[in-house]
Structure 1
Amino acid sequence: MERTDSEPAGSGPADPLGRAMLAHHRDTPGRLTYRDGADVQDGSVAEFYFSSPESWDREAIELLERLTDREPVLDVGCGAGKHLLWWADRGVDAVGVDASPNAVRTARKRGVDDVLVGDMFDLPIETGAFGAVHAVGTQLGLGRSLAGVRELLAEFARVTDDAGIAVVDNYDPTRLDEEFVGYRSDPREGIAHRCFHLEFERETADGERYREVGRTLQFLLCSPDRLREATTGTPWAVTDVLRSDPHYRAVLAKSDSNPDR
Protein backbone atom coordinates (compact mmCIF):
# COMPACT_ATOMS: atom_id res chain seq x y z
CA MET A 1 0.00 0.00 0.00
CA GLU A 2 1.62 3.23 -1.12
CA ARG A 3 -0.04 6.58 -0.98
CA THR A 4 1.12 9.97 -2.24
CA ASP A 5 -0.38 13.41 -1.74
CA SER A 6 -1.91 13.37 -5.22
CA GLU A 7 -3.84 10.14 -4.69
CA PRO A 8 -7.47 10.35 -3.52
CA ALA A 9 -8.23 8.86 -0.12
CA GLY A 10 -11.28 8.87 2.08
CA SER A 11 -9.23 10.11 5.02
CA GLY A 12 -8.24 13.31 3.19
CA PRO A 13 -4.88 14.63 2.01
CA ALA A 14 -1.68 12.85 2.93
CA ASP A 15 -0.67 13.50 6.53
CA PRO A 16 2.63 11.67 7.11
CA LEU A 17 3.64 13.67 10.18
CA GLY A 18 0.30 13.20 11.91
CA ARG A 19 0.25 9.55 10.86
CA ALA A 20 3.70 9.09 12.44
CA MET A 21 2.50 10.67 15.70
CA LEU A 22 -0.58 8.47 15.83
CA ALA A 23 1.44 5.33 15.08
CA HIS A 24 3.95 6.19 17.81
CA HIS A 25 1.15 6.72 20.33
CA ARG A 26 -0.33 3.34 19.38
CA ASP A 27 3.10 1.74 19.84
CA THR A 28 3.15 0.75 16.15
CA PRO A 29 5.88 3.15 15.04
CA GLY A 30 7.33 3.29 11.57
CA ARG A 31 9.90 5.66 10.15
CA LEU A 32 9.31 9.36 9.47
CA THR A 33 11.87 11.09 7.25
CA TYR A 34 12.52 14.53 5.82
CA ARG A 35 13.53 14.16 2.19
CA ASP A 36 15.06 16.66 -0.22
CA GLY A 37 16.14 14.76 -3.30
CA ALA A 38 18.81 12.31 -2.20
CA ASP A 39 19.21 14.00 1.19
CA VAL A 40 17.34 12.29 4.01
CA GLN A 41 17.02 13.11 7.71
CA ASP A 42 15.24 11.12 10.39
CA GLY A 43 12.04 12.75 11.64
CA SER A 44 12.78 11.89 15.30
CA VAL A 45 9.10 11.60 16.23
CA ALA A 46 9.71 10.49 19.83
CA GLU A 47 12.26 13.24 20.49
CA PHE A 48 10.37 16.09 18.87
CA TYR A 49 6.74 15.30 19.73
CA PHE A 50 6.70 12.97 22.75
CA SER A 51 9.61 14.14 24.88
CA SER A 52 9.05 14.59 28.61
CA PRO A 53 9.57 17.93 30.37
CA GLU A 54 12.63 16.48 32.12
CA SER A 55 14.44 16.56 28.78
CA TRP A 56 13.45 20.13 27.85
CA ASP A 57 15.99 22.91 28.17
CA ARG A 58 15.59 25.50 30.90
CA GLU A 59 14.82 28.34 28.46
CA ALA A 60 11.93 26.40 26.89
CA ILE A 61 10.30 25.85 30.28
CA GLU A 62 10.85 29.48 31.28
CA LEU A 63 9.02 30.58 28.13
CA LEU A 64 6.13 28.22 28.85
CA GLU A 65 5.92 29.70 32.33
CA ARG A 66 6.05 33.22 30.90
CA LEU A 67 3.10 32.46 28.64
CA THR A 68 1.26 30.95 31.59
CA ASP A 69 1.10 34.41 33.12
CA ARG A 70 -0.98 35.54 30.11
CA GLU A 71 -3.46 32.64 29.92
CA PRO A 72 -5.47 31.57 28.09
CA VAL A 73 -2.72 30.31 25.78
CA LEU A 74 -3.17 29.26 22.14
CA ASP A 75 -0.67 26.58 21.06
CA VAL A 76 -0.42 26.88 17.27
CA GLY A 77 0.97 23.77 15.62
CA CYS A 78 0.44 21.83 18.84
CA GLY A 79 1.35 18.44 17.36
CA ALA A 80 0.77 15.55 19.75
CA GLY A 81 0.07 17.98 22.58
CA LYS A 82 3.18 17.76 24.77
CA HIS A 83 3.07 21.45 25.74
CA LEU A 84 -0.70 21.35 26.23
CA LEU A 85 -0.26 18.46 28.65
CA TRP A 86 2.40 20.44 30.55
CA TRP A 87 -0.01 23.37 30.93
CA ALA A 88 -2.91 21.08 31.85
CA ASP A 89 -0.85 19.57 34.68
CA ARG A 90 -0.54 23.11 36.08
CA GLY A 91 -4.19 24.07 35.65
CA VAL A 92 -3.47 26.53 32.84
CA ASP A 93 -6.21 27.35 30.33
CA ALA A 94 -4.69 26.37 26.96
CA VAL A 95 -6.10 25.41 23.57
CA GLY A 96 -4.27 23.72 20.69
CA VAL A 97 -4.64 24.10 16.94
CA ASP A 98 -2.93 21.98 14.29
CA ALA A 99 -3.41 21.56 10.55
CA SER A 100 -2.90 17.79 10.88
CA PRO A 101 -6.08 15.86 11.69
CA ASN A 102 -4.02 12.91 12.90
CA ALA A 103 -1.92 15.10 15.18
CA VAL A 104 -5.11 16.46 16.72
CA ARG A 105 -6.45 12.93 17.04
CA THR A 106 -3.24 11.88 18.81
CA ALA A 107 -3.40 14.82 21.21
CA ARG A 108 -6.98 13.92 22.11
CA LYS A 109 -6.06 10.29 22.71
CA ARG A 110 -3.32 11.51 25.08
CA GLY A 111 -5.91 13.37 27.15
CA VAL A 112 -6.00 16.85 25.59
CA ASP A 113 -9.61 18.04 25.36
CA ASP A 114 -9.28 21.53 23.89
CA VAL A 115 -7.62 20.97 20.52
CA LEU A 116 -8.86 21.87 17.04
CA VAL A 117 -7.97 21.19 13.42
CA GLY A 118 -7.25 24.51 11.76
CA ASP A 119 -5.16 26.60 9.39
CA MET A 120 -2.83 28.94 11.27
CA PHE A 121 -3.29 31.61 8.60
CA ASP A 122 -7.05 31.55 9.24
CA LEU A 123 -7.42 30.38 12.81
CA PRO A 124 -10.82 29.06 13.92
CA ILE A 125 -10.60 31.39 16.92
CA GLU A 126 -12.56 34.48 17.93
CA THR A 127 -10.83 37.86 17.82
CA GLY A 128 -9.06 38.79 21.05
CA ALA A 129 -9.83 35.47 22.72
CA PHE A 130 -6.30 34.70 23.98
CA GLY A 131 -3.60 36.38 26.00
CA ALA A 132 -0.70 34.48 24.44
CA VAL A 133 0.29 32.50 21.35
CA HIS A 134 2.86 29.70 21.38
CA ALA A 135 4.03 28.73 17.87
CA VAL A 136 7.23 26.67 18.02
CA GLY A 137 8.34 24.03 15.54
CA THR A 138 9.55 26.62 12.98
CA GLN A 139 6.08 26.81 11.42
CA LEU A 140 6.57 30.58 11.30
CA GLY A 141 8.75 29.84 8.27
CA LEU A 142 5.73 28.48 6.39
CA GLY A 143 4.95 32.11 5.66
CA ARG A 144 7.62 31.50 2.95
CA SER A 145 8.49 35.21 2.69
CA LEU A 146 8.76 38.21 4.98
CA ALA A 147 5.37 39.32 3.69
CA GLY A 148 3.95 35.89 4.49
CA VAL A 149 5.44 35.96 7.98
CA ARG A 150 3.90 39.40 8.46
CA GLU A 151 0.52 37.97 7.42
CA LEU A 152 0.86 35.18 9.97
CA LEU A 153 1.85 37.60 12.72
CA ALA A 154 -1.21 39.70 11.86
CA GLU A 155 -3.39 36.62 12.44
CA PHE A 156 -1.69 36.00 15.78
CA ALA A 157 -2.39 39.63 16.64
CA ARG A 158 -6.06 39.21 15.74
CA VAL A 159 -6.64 36.33 18.15
CA THR A 160 -4.81 37.94 21.10
CA ASP A 161 -5.92 40.76 23.36
CA ASP A 162 -4.30 44.21 23.53
CA ALA A 163 -1.62 43.01 25.95
CA GLY A 164 -0.90 39.84 24.00
CA ILE A 165 2.47 38.13 23.76
CA ALA A 166 3.76 35.43 21.43
CA VAL A 167 6.66 32.99 21.23
CA VAL A 168 7.88 31.89 17.80
CA ASP A 169 11.03 30.17 16.56
CA ASN A 170 13.18 29.72 13.47
CA TYR A 171 16.68 28.90 12.25
CA ASP A 172 19.11 31.77 11.72
CA PRO A 173 20.60 31.32 8.23
CA THR A 174 23.64 33.42 9.15
CA ARG A 175 24.60 30.52 11.47
CA LEU A 176 23.77 27.66 9.11
CA ASP A 177 25.71 25.92 6.37
CA GLU A 178 24.54 24.35 3.14
CA GLU A 179 24.64 20.86 4.68
CA PHE A 180 21.37 21.71 6.47
CA VAL A 181 18.74 19.42 4.93
CA GLY A 182 16.63 21.29 2.40
CA TYR A 183 18.77 24.45 2.54
CA ARG A 184 18.36 27.00 -0.24
CA SER A 185 20.51 30.12 -0.26
CA ASP A 186 19.25 33.66 -0.88
CA PRO A 187 21.31 36.72 -1.88
CA ARG A 188 19.75 38.78 0.92
CA GLU A 189 21.55 38.96 4.24
CA GLY A 190 19.79 37.04 7.00
CA ILE A 191 17.45 35.23 4.58
CA ALA A 192 17.48 31.68 3.23
CA HIS A 193 14.90 29.00 2.45
CA ARG A 194 14.29 25.37 3.23
CA CYS A 195 12.40 22.83 1.10
CA PHE A 196 11.62 19.20 1.85
CA HIS A 197 8.76 16.75 2.05
CA LEU A 198 7.87 14.23 4.73
CA GLU A 199 7.53 10.49 4.23
CA PHE A 200 6.15 7.96 6.68
CA GLU A 201 6.71 4.23 6.23
CA ARG A 202 5.83 1.21 8.32
CA GLU A 203 4.92 -2.43 7.94
CA THR A 204 1.24 -3.21 8.49
CA ALA A 205 -0.06 -6.11 10.59
CA ASP A 206 -0.49 -8.25 7.46
CA GLY A 207 3.10 -7.64 6.39
CA GLU A 208 2.43 -5.06 3.68
CA ARG A 209 4.48 -1.88 3.39
CA TYR A 210 2.56 1.34 4.08
CA ARG A 211 4.08 4.54 2.72
CA GLU A 212 2.60 8.01 2.88
CA VAL A 213 4.24 10.95 1.10
CA GLY A 214 3.39 14.56 1.91
CA ARG A 215 3.53 17.64 -0.25
CA THR A 216 6.69 19.71 -0.56
CA LEU A 217 7.00 22.23 2.26
CA GLN A 218 8.72 25.57 1.73
CA PHE A 219 10.05 27.51 4.73
CA LEU A 220 11.56 30.94 5.09
CA LEU A 221 14.66 30.97 7.28
CA CYS A 222 15.26 34.40 8.75
CA SER A 223 17.62 35.94 11.29
CA PRO A 224 16.23 37.71 14.36
CA ASP A 225 16.94 41.04 12.64
CA ARG A 226 14.88 39.97 9.65
CA LEU A 227 12.11 38.82 11.99
CA ARG A 228 12.11 42.32 13.49
CA GLU A 229 11.72 43.65 9.95
CA ALA A 230 8.75 41.34 9.41
CA THR A 231 6.95 42.84 12.42
CA THR A 232 6.73 46.17 10.59
CA GLY A 233 3.09 46.99 10.00
CA THR A 234 1.92 44.60 12.73
CA PRO A 235 1.17 45.33 16.39
CA TRP A 236 4.18 43.19 17.41
CA ALA A 237 7.70 44.02 18.52
CA VAL A 238 10.48 41.51 19.23
CA THR A 239 11.35 41.93 22.92
CA ASP A 240 13.68 38.99 23.52
CA VAL A 241 15.69 36.44 21.53
CA LEU A 242 16.95 33.18 23.06
CA ARG A 243 19.58 31.42 20.98
CA SER A 244 20.59 27.79 20.72
CA ASP A 245 22.50 28.10 17.47
CA PRO A 246 21.44 27.88 14.76
CA HIS A 247 17.95 27.69 16.28
CA TYR A 248 16.42 30.58 18.20
CA ARG A 249 13.18 31.48 19.95
CA ALA A 250 11.80 35.01 19.91
CA VAL A 251 9.36 36.65 22.30
CA LEU A 252 6.99 39.20 20.76
CA ALA A 253 4.79 41.67 22.58
CA LYS A 254 2.01 43.90 21.33
CA SER A 255 3.42 47.41 20.90
CA ASP A 256 0.70 48.92 23.11
CA SER A 257 2.02 46.78 25.99
CA ASN A 258 5.70 47.40 25.17
CA PRO A 259 7.02 50.61 26.75
CA ASP A 260 10.09 50.60 24.49
CA ARG A 261 8.09 51.02 21.31
Structure 2
Amino acid sequence: MSADPFGRAIRDHYLGSREEPLIDRDGDETREHAIERWYFGEHDEDAWRDAWMEGPLLDIGAGAGRDALYYQEQFETVAIEVSDHLVEILRDRGVADARVANMFTLRNHFDRDRFRSAHAIGTQVGLAGSMAGVRQFLDDLAFVTTPDATAVLDNYAPEKEATGDVFAYREDPAPGLAYRIYHEEYEGDVGETLLFRVFSADRLREATIGTPWEVTALTYGETQWRAILEKSHSPP
Protein backbone atom coordinates (compact mmCIF):
# COMPACT_ATOMS: atom_id res chain seq x y z
CA MET A 1 0.00 0.00 0.00
CA SER A 2 1.32 3.46 -0.89
CA ALA A 3 1.96 5.98 1.88
CA ASP A 4 -1.14 7.88 2.98
CA PRO A 5 0.14 10.69 5.22
CA PHE A 6 -3.05 12.66 4.62
CA GLY A 7 -5.44 9.95 5.79
CA ARG A 8 -3.15 8.83 8.61
CA ALA A 9 -2.78 12.34 10.03
CA ILE A 10 -6.55 12.92 10.00
CA ARG A 11 -7.08 9.51 11.64
CA ASP A 12 -4.54 10.31 14.37
CA HIS A 13 -6.14 13.72 14.91
CA TYR A 14 -9.54 12.07 15.28
CA LEU A 15 -8.14 9.55 17.77
CA GLY A 16 -6.36 12.27 19.74
CA SER A 17 -2.93 10.76 19.10
CA ARG A 18 -1.51 13.21 16.55
CA GLU A 19 1.71 14.82 17.82
CA GLU A 20 3.05 16.27 14.57
CA PRO A 21 1.43 18.51 11.96
CA LEU A 22 0.34 17.40 8.52
CA ILE A 23 2.51 19.50 6.20
CA ASP A 24 1.64 20.57 2.66
CA ARG A 25 4.86 21.17 0.73
CA ASP A 26 5.52 23.00 -2.53
CA GLY A 27 9.31 23.01 -2.87
CA ASP A 28 10.62 25.15 -0.02
CA GLU A 29 7.19 26.58 0.72
CA THR A 30 5.12 24.81 3.37
CA ARG A 31 1.91 25.22 5.31
CA GLU A 32 0.30 23.28 8.13
CA HIS A 33 -2.86 21.54 6.99
CA ALA A 34 -5.79 22.89 9.05
CA ILE A 35 -7.27 19.50 9.92
CA GLU A 36 -9.68 20.54 12.67
CA ARG A 37 -11.08 23.52 10.78
CA TRP A 38 -11.39 21.83 7.40
CA TYR A 39 -12.66 18.39 8.39
CA PHE A 40 -14.26 18.41 11.82
CA GLY A 41 -16.33 21.56 11.84
CA GLU A 42 -20.09 21.62 11.45
CA HIS A 43 -21.73 21.41 8.03
CA ASP A 44 -21.69 24.92 6.57
CA GLU A 45 -25.40 25.32 6.01
CA ASP A 46 -25.67 26.99 2.64
CA ALA A 47 -29.30 27.38 1.63
CA TRP A 48 -28.27 28.10 -1.94
CA ARG A 49 -26.36 24.80 -2.21
CA ASP A 50 -28.48 22.61 0.05
CA ALA A 51 -31.69 23.44 -1.82
CA TRP A 52 -30.34 21.56 -4.84
CA MET A 53 -29.42 18.39 -2.97
CA GLU A 54 -31.82 15.42 -2.98
CA GLY A 55 -31.45 11.75 -2.25
CA PRO A 56 -29.99 9.39 -2.99
CA LEU A 57 -26.92 11.63 -2.78
CA LEU A 58 -23.29 10.80 -3.55
CA ASP A 59 -20.85 12.74 -1.36
CA ILE A 60 -17.59 12.68 -3.32
CA GLY A 61 -14.42 13.15 -1.28
CA ALA A 62 -16.37 13.10 1.98
CA GLY A 63 -13.37 13.75 4.23
CA ALA A 64 -14.35 13.06 7.84
CA GLY A 65 -18.08 13.25 7.17
CA ARG A 66 -18.94 16.86 7.93
CA ASP A 67 -21.46 17.07 5.08
CA ALA A 68 -22.46 13.40 4.80
CA LEU A 69 -23.59 13.36 8.45
CA TYR A 70 -25.83 16.35 7.76
CA TYR A 71 -27.33 15.09 4.52
CA GLN A 72 -28.02 11.53 5.70
CA GLU A 73 -30.44 12.92 8.28
CA GLN A 74 -32.62 13.99 5.35
CA PHE A 75 -32.14 11.28 2.70
CA GLU A 76 -29.96 8.35 1.65
CA THR A 77 -26.34 9.47 1.37
CA VAL A 78 -23.35 7.46 0.15
CA ALA A 79 -19.94 8.89 1.10
CA ILE A 80 -16.78 7.95 -0.81
CA GLU A 81 -13.09 8.49 -0.12
CA VAL A 82 -9.89 7.01 -1.56
CA SER A 83 -8.26 6.65 1.87
CA ASP A 84 -8.98 3.57 3.99
CA HIS A 85 -8.21 5.68 7.06
CA LEU A 86 -10.84 8.26 6.15
CA VAL A 87 -13.47 5.62 5.45
CA GLU A 88 -12.81 4.16 8.91
CA ILE A 89 -13.36 7.63 10.40
CA LEU A 90 -16.56 8.13 8.39
CA ARG A 91 -17.99 4.86 9.65
CA ASP A 92 -16.92 5.48 13.23
CA ARG A 93 -18.50 8.93 13.22
CA GLY A 94 -21.81 7.43 12.13
CA VAL A 95 -21.92 7.75 8.34
CA ALA A 96 -24.27 4.91 7.41
CA ASP A 97 -22.80 4.13 3.98
CA ALA A 98 -19.11 5.00 3.58
CA ARG A 99 -17.00 3.30 0.92
CA VAL A 100 -13.49 3.32 -0.50
CA ALA A 101 -13.90 4.55 -4.07
CA ASN A 102 -12.07 6.76 -6.56
CA MET A 103 -14.15 9.66 -7.85
CA PHE A 104 -12.56 9.23 -11.28
CA THR A 105 -13.70 5.61 -11.69
CA LEU A 106 -17.34 5.97 -10.67
CA ARG A 107 -18.59 3.51 -13.29
CA ASN A 108 -16.54 0.81 -11.57
CA HIS A 109 -18.36 1.36 -8.30
CA PHE A 110 -21.99 2.26 -9.03
CA ASP A 111 -24.81 1.29 -11.39
CA ARG A 112 -26.41 3.63 -13.90
CA ASP A 113 -28.92 6.11 -12.46
CA ARG A 114 -27.93 5.30 -8.86
CA PHE A 115 -28.02 8.87 -7.47
CA ARG A 116 -30.37 11.85 -7.67
CA SER A 117 -27.65 14.35 -6.75
CA ALA A 118 -23.90 14.58 -6.23
CA HIS A 119 -21.82 16.76 -3.90
CA ALA A 120 -18.11 17.45 -4.48
CA ILE A 121 -16.99 20.41 -2.39
CA GLY A 122 -13.29 20.97 -1.68
CA THR A 123 -11.91 21.62 -5.19
CA GLN A 124 -11.16 17.89 -5.60
CA VAL A 125 -12.56 17.91 -9.13
CA GLY A 126 -9.29 19.64 -10.04
CA LEU A 127 -7.51 16.33 -9.42
CA ALA A 128 -8.80 15.30 -12.83
CA GLY A 129 -5.54 16.96 -13.92
CA SER A 130 -6.75 18.28 -17.27
CA MET A 131 -9.90 19.57 -18.90
CA ALA A 132 -10.17 16.30 -20.80
CA GLY A 133 -10.11 14.58 -17.42
CA VAL A 134 -12.83 16.91 -16.13
CA ARG A 135 -15.01 16.06 -19.14
CA GLN A 136 -14.48 12.35 -18.55
CA PHE A 137 -15.44 12.80 -14.89
CA LEU A 138 -18.63 14.57 -15.94
CA ASP A 139 -19.44 11.72 -18.33
CA ASP A 140 -18.94 9.15 -15.58
CA LEU A 141 -20.96 11.24 -13.11
CA ALA A 142 -23.76 11.39 -15.67
CA PHE A 143 -23.76 7.60 -15.91
CA VAL A 144 -24.28 7.05 -12.16
CA THR A 145 -26.91 9.79 -11.74
CA THR A 146 -30.55 9.95 -12.80
CA PRO A 147 -31.72 11.86 -15.90
CA ASP A 148 -33.03 14.67 -13.64
CA ALA A 149 -29.94 14.81 -11.43
CA THR A 150 -28.15 17.84 -10.00
CA ALA A 151 -24.54 18.22 -8.90
CA VAL A 152 -22.55 20.83 -7.00
CA LEU A 153 -18.86 21.39 -7.77
CA ASP A 154 -16.33 24.03 -6.83
CA ASN A 155 -12.83 25.17 -7.75
CA TYR A 156 -10.52 28.14 -7.43
CA ALA A 157 -11.21 30.99 -9.83
CA PRO A 158 -8.01 31.85 -11.75
CA GLU A 159 -9.48 35.11 -13.01
CA LYS A 160 -9.64 36.53 -9.48
CA GLU A 161 -6.56 38.46 -8.31
CA ALA A 162 -6.70 37.00 -4.80
CA THR A 163 -6.39 33.47 -6.15
CA GLY A 164 -2.77 34.15 -7.08
CA ASP A 165 -1.93 34.01 -3.36
CA VAL A 166 -3.42 30.52 -2.87
CA PHE A 167 -0.89 27.94 -1.68
CA ALA A 168 1.03 26.13 -4.48
CA TYR A 169 -0.69 28.15 -7.21
CA ARG A 170 0.79 28.16 -10.72
CA GLU A 171 -0.35 30.45 -13.50
CA ASP A 172 -1.15 29.13 -16.96
CA PRO A 173 -0.87 31.32 -20.09
CA ALA A 174 -4.23 30.00 -21.32
CA PRO A 175 -7.19 32.13 -20.19
CA GLY A 176 -9.24 30.67 -17.36
CA LEU A 177 -6.69 27.98 -16.45
CA ALA A 178 -4.05 27.45 -13.76
CA TYR A 179 -2.56 24.67 -11.61
CA ARG A 180 -1.79 23.81 -8.02
CA ILE A 181 0.99 21.31 -7.30
CA TYR A 182 2.09 20.06 -3.88
CA HIS A 183 2.49 16.98 -1.72
CA GLU A 184 1.87 16.14 1.93
CA GLU A 185 4.22 14.94 4.66
CA TYR A 186 3.44 13.41 8.04
CA GLU A 187 5.77 11.68 10.49
CA GLY A 188 8.32 10.91 7.78
CA ASP A 189 5.79 9.68 5.21
CA VAL A 190 5.71 11.59 1.92
CA GLY A 191 2.56 11.45 -0.16
CA GLU A 192 2.31 11.44 -3.93
CA THR A 193 2.46 14.75 -5.77
CA LEU A 194 -1.01 16.23 -6.18
CA LEU A 195 -1.74 18.04 -9.43
CA PHE A 196 -4.91 20.13 -9.33
CA ARG A 197 -6.21 21.65 -12.56
CA VAL A 198 -7.63 25.04 -11.66
CA PHE A 199 -10.26 26.25 -14.12
CA SER A 200 -12.80 29.03 -14.35
CA ALA A 201 -16.57 28.56 -14.46
CA ASP A 202 -16.44 29.42 -18.18
CA ARG A 203 -14.00 26.55 -18.68
CA LEU A 204 -16.39 24.31 -16.74
CA ARG A 205 -19.14 25.27 -19.16
CA GLU A 206 -16.87 24.31 -22.05
CA ALA A 207 -16.17 20.96 -20.38
CA THR A 208 -19.88 20.16 -20.19
CA ILE A 209 -20.20 20.29 -23.99
CA GLY A 210 -20.92 16.78 -25.20
CA THR A 211 -22.09 15.69 -21.74
CA PRO A 212 -25.64 15.80 -20.34
CA TRP A 213 -24.68 18.53 -17.87
CA GLU A 214 -25.41 22.25 -17.96
CA VAL A 215 -24.24 24.91 -15.51
CA THR A 216 -27.45 26.49 -14.24
CA ALA A 217 -26.38 28.42 -11.13
CA LEU A 218 -23.13 29.98 -9.98
CA THR A 219 -21.81 31.84 -6.97
CA TYR A 220 -18.39 33.30 -6.10
CA GLY A 221 -16.31 33.73 -2.97
CA GLU A 222 -13.04 35.60 -2.62
CA THR A 223 -10.97 32.99 -4.48
CA GLN A 224 -13.43 30.27 -5.55
CA TRP A 225 -16.57 29.61 -7.53
CA ARG A 226 -19.31 27.12 -6.74
CA ALA A 227 -21.57 25.81 -9.48
CA ILE A 228 -24.81 23.86 -9.75
CA LEU A 229 -25.06 21.51 -12.72
CA GLU A 230 -28.28 19.97 -14.00
CA LYS A 231 -28.89 17.35 -16.66
CA SER A 232 -30.01 18.95 -19.92
CA HIS A 233 -30.78 15.59 -21.53
CA SER A 234 -30.50 11.92 -20.70
CA PRO A 235 -27.03 10.32 -20.86
CA PRO A 236 -26.30 8.09 -23.85
TM-score by length of structure 1 reads 0.84
Instruction: Supply the RMSD in Å over aligned alpha carbons.
Output: 1.5
- Report the counterpart of residue 38 of structure 2 in structure 1: 48
- Report the counterpart of residue 127 of structure 2 in structure 1: 142
Q: Distance in 1 between matches of 2:3 and 2:96?
A: 24
Which of 2, 27, 41 is matched with 1:13 structurally? Answer: 2
Q: Distance in 2 between matches of 1:100 and 1:34?
A: 17
Structure 1 residue 255 corresponds to structure 2 residue 232: yes
Q: Distance in 1 between matches of 2:103 and 2:37?
A: 24
- Report the counterpart of residue 7 of structure 1 in structure 2: none
Q: Distance in 2 between matches of 1:130 and 1:219?
A: 26
- Report the counterpart of residue 83 of structure 1 in structure 2: 67
What's the secondary structure of 1:13's corresponding residue?
coil
Q: Deviations over 1:121-165 (max 9, x none)?
A: 112111110000101111110111111100111111111010011
Which of 53, 58, 61 is matched with 1:74 structurally? Answer: 58
Which of 204, 222, 233 is matched with 2:210 structurally? Answer: 233
What's the secondary structure of 2:37's corresponding residue?
helix
- Report the counterpart of residue 154 of structure 1 in structure 2: 139
Which of 117, 122, 140 is matched with 2:105 structurally? Answer: 122
The one-letter amino acid of 1:241's match is L
What's the secondary structure of 1:249's corresponding residue?
strand
The question of whether the paired residues in 1 share the 8 Å contact of 2:158 and 2:199 is answered with: yes
- Report the counterpart of residue 23 of structure 1 in structure 2: 12
The percentage of counterpart residues that share the same residue type is 39
Which of 158, 163, 170 is matched with 1:173 structurally? Answer: 158
- How far residue 166 of structure 1 moved from its aligned partner, in angstroms, is 0.5
- Report the counterpart of residue 34 of structure 1 in structure 2: 24
Q: Deviations over 1:55-88 (max 9, x none)?
A: x2x53x5413420xx2100001111111111123
- How far residue 177 of structure 1 moved from its aligned partner, in angstroms, is 4.9
- Report the counterpart of residue 4 of structure 1 in structure 2: none
- Extract unaligned runs of 5+ from structure 1: 1-11, 201-209
Q: Deviations over 1:233-259 (max 9, x none)?
A: 1110111111112112110000138xx
What's the secondary structure of 1:188's corresponding residue?
coil
1:179-218 correspondence to structure 2 within 5 Å:
179-200=165-186, 210-218=187-195
Q: Distance in 2 between matches of 1:245 and 1:178?
A: 11
- How far residue 92 of structure 1 moved from its aligned partner, in angstroms, is 1.6
Equivalent residues, number: 230
- Extract unaligned runs of 5+ from structure 2: none
Q: Deviations over 1:139-197 (max 9, x none)?
A: 11011111110011111111101001100110001114543221111111110111000
Q: Distance in 1 between matches of 2:36 and 2:152?
A: 23
